[in-house]
Amino acid sequence: MLKILFKSITASAFMLIVFSTAVMAETFVFTAIPDQDETKLKARFTKIATYLSKELGVDVKYIPVKSYSAAVTAFRNNQVQLAWFGGLSGVRARHLVKDSQAIAQGFEDPNFQTYFIAHVSTGLKKSSNLPTEIAGKTFTFGSKGSTSGRLMPEYHIRRVFSKAPDQVFSRVGYSGNHSKTIALVQAGAFQVGATNYKVWKRELAAGNIDTSKVQVIWETPGYPDYNWSIRGDVNAKFGAGFTDKVQNALINMKDPDLLAAFPRKSFIKATNKDFQPVLDLGKKVGLIE
């Protein structure tokens, strides 16, 4: 009887070890909205994966996605457990996954901005208000799911003109990312566009913007934007307190090289409540049901 009991306990212990090893072997996967060139994103987030793997003690992998909606879908389907979202995509993703949370944002993200830019041939100059002379021009947003490249510029266009964008402009496009928006307006393919101010400043510093061809004509008031969001079931998968560990790892990221890749001064705590204004505007514009 004792021999049978011993065998039973031994088998149970073995199964526990196997189960624990399987849990430890789980890969923690994250993605990011493709707000700029994919090559740049891969280089940037592979470094983040290495950092998180060291801090969390688990294998961490970054996977790229082709669109903002694909990032939301990957989060919903548990193909990724963490994502670097914009305000709008984050709200959408968290709505689809029970108990998911915004856990961190850049120091600058509570007061983010969109830049309206124009080709110099339009004659438009920088203004303290959105210039009404943009009406009748060709216009490009960024991605259809972008906060800074779609939601906020569309909100301000509707606010000023009391019309939908396709009723204001002669042609409306969606570039897919902020870098491309800048390139299209600079080339004259579109006369006016809306882009993320961080990407504008980065591209300008990199020498990729010719200000004799394209210029900023209006800067929006600040609004909450980018955030790291995590699924609500990660503690069950990776162990109690795992969400807090991820949040702490992000907030304690001090390496200037890692932060410069975003670019952000640092990361600070975030909550779902911080993005209520994005949710409200998304519903008002009709981008969130």
Residue 65 and residue 89 in contact, taking contact as beta carbons nearer than 8 Å = no
Distance CA 287, CA 161 (A): 18
Nearby residues of 140 by Cβ (< 8 Å), 6 or more positions away: 172, 173, 174, 175, 181, 184, 185, 189, 190, 192, 193, 194
Distance CA 93, CA 46 (A): 22
Architecture per CATH, domain 113-219, reads as 3-Layer(aba) Sandwich (3.40)
What CATH number should be reported for the domain whose range is 2-110+224-285?
3.40.190.10
By CB atoms closer than 10 A (0-12, 13-18, 19+), residue 263 is: middle
Domain pair 2-110+224-285 / 113-219, same fold: yes
Residue 269 and residue 247 in contact, taking contact as beta carbons nearer than 8 Å = yes
pLDDT score at 289: 77
pLDDT score at 34: 87
Residue 233 and residue 72 in contact, taking contact as beta carbons nearer than 8 Å = no
pTM of the model: 0.82
pLDDT score at 103: 98
Reported as a single tens digit per residue, the pLDDT across 200-212 is 999 999 999 999 9
Residue 49 and residue 106 in contact, taking contact as beta carbons nearer than 8 Å = no
Distance CA 96, CA 101 (A): 11
pLDDT score at 262: 83
Distance CA 182, CA 64 (A): 22
Tokens of 45: 């987030």
Nearby residues of 80 by Cβ (< 8 Å), 6 or more positions away: 29, 30, 31, 63, 71, 74
Tokens of 234: 């990660």
pLDDT score at 75: 98
Say what angle helices 276-285 and 87-96 make with each other, to 10 degrees. Answer: 90
Helix (H) or strand (E) holding 74: helix 68-76
Q: Domain segments of the chain: what residues?
A: 2-110+224-285, 113-219
Mean pLDDT of residues grouped by 10 in the chain (289 residues)? 45 41 69 80 89 97 93 97 96 95 97 97 96 98 94 97 97 95 98 96 95 98 96 96 98 93 92 96 88
Tokens of 175: 């570039």
Q: What is the C-alpha radius of gyration for the chain, rounded to an integer number of angstroms? A: 22
Reported as a single tens digit per residue, the pLDDT across 183-232 is 999 999 999 999 999 999 999 999 999 999 999 999 999 999 999 999 99
